[in-house]
Structure 1
Amino acid sequence: MPVLHKDDKAAERCPWCGTDRLYVDYHDKVWGRPEYDDLALFEKLCLDGQQAGLSWITILRKQQSYQAAYDFFDPEKIVQYDDNKIAELLTNPGIVRNKLKVKSIIKNARGYLGLKEEGTGFSRFLWSFVGNGPIQNNWRSIDEVPVTTPESEAMSKALKRAGFTFVGPTIVYAFMQAVGMVNDHLVSCPQHMQCRSPAQ
């Protein structure tokens, strides 16, 4: 069990966040809380793709730099990025300087706008894969928590068809956990009940 800060209320917080203050705050205030805003979901999906091969805390520490670099994840602006902008991004030390990952956010912006042009809201599109409400799990051990599910497989395939990249089923499931489409806080974690409340 992680060493706790004096002001921590969680005696048995989910172990994956360790003791890093940024990670603990993310666990307590963000992870697992249902998010329905189109642009907030777009940003989170893009950032989850950036963590491929890395740890989430690495991307979390760079989130503000990503927001500044990518016009606060405004798809209308991102789709205008040209080769000069891509070259600029590849010199930015505040983000992961991987050409495929840089281009993936641009492709994802196109996919987002493509869905919008079809009359499909991004939030409605994503939440449809979980029946429009959070799936409530009751895991007692971190070993019980899956890395993919049939829902994440289906969402991944649909996103790829829409033109998104870095949206494999494992990345998508991590995204679903983070934005509260599934409640994967362990039952021993105080946030488990906090994240159940919106769904009741």
Structure 2
Amino acid sequence: MNSPNQSRAIRLMTVDDHPLLRDGLAALIGGQPDMELVAEASNGAEAVEAYRSARPDVTLMDLQMPGMGGIDAIAAIRAEFAAARIIVLTTYADENNAVRALKAGAAGYLLKSAVRRDLLDTIRAVNAGLRRVPAEIACQIAVHIGQEELTSREITVVQLAAGGNANKQIARHLSISEDTVKAHMKSIFAKLEASDRAHAVAIAAKRGFIEI
């Protein structure tokens, strides 16, 4: 006997703040006999409300949106609906965003550049209870697995360093001592295996801890 997910169309919700992207996804989904678009949202808060109403089988979630972003929306939906199956659909190819999304409860992570090639197969796989992460991002995660993550304060420090701020300026901005900033920088260098300040900023940006 077929399970409910096999005997009817996969019910989908799309969450993205760009209407054209949602329209494109709707057209792609509309051409599939085994899929049905049942809800759309333009930010995380709308997504949580829409999920409660529509109860989709699979949700396609952007990360960067005004108001509540994708990570918080995933966590909120999964806290209320533990069986929710969510695929992140994003332009961010770094391992930090992928790890944060997966920790929040996402079952899949897909780059928008791969939508036409991989989205439909990813939806079907996640609907069947599998997990899907692009090979290049999975490799990044594997390389750094077991390493200590930067703390929120360390991320703030390296973000300020990326903006050209000296230790004294960072200390003033954060209302901490310059020695404390130096201690944070030393920890950042160790965790990122960076040789100097510029190297630490470059690695932090590449891995998605900061934006420059």
- Superposition TM-score tier, normalisation by shorter sequence: under 0.3
Q: Which structure features the higher share of strand residues?
A: 2
Who wins on radius of gyration, i.e. which is larger? 2
- TM-score scaled by structure 2? 0.25
> Whose RCO is larger (CA < 8 A, sep 6+)?
1
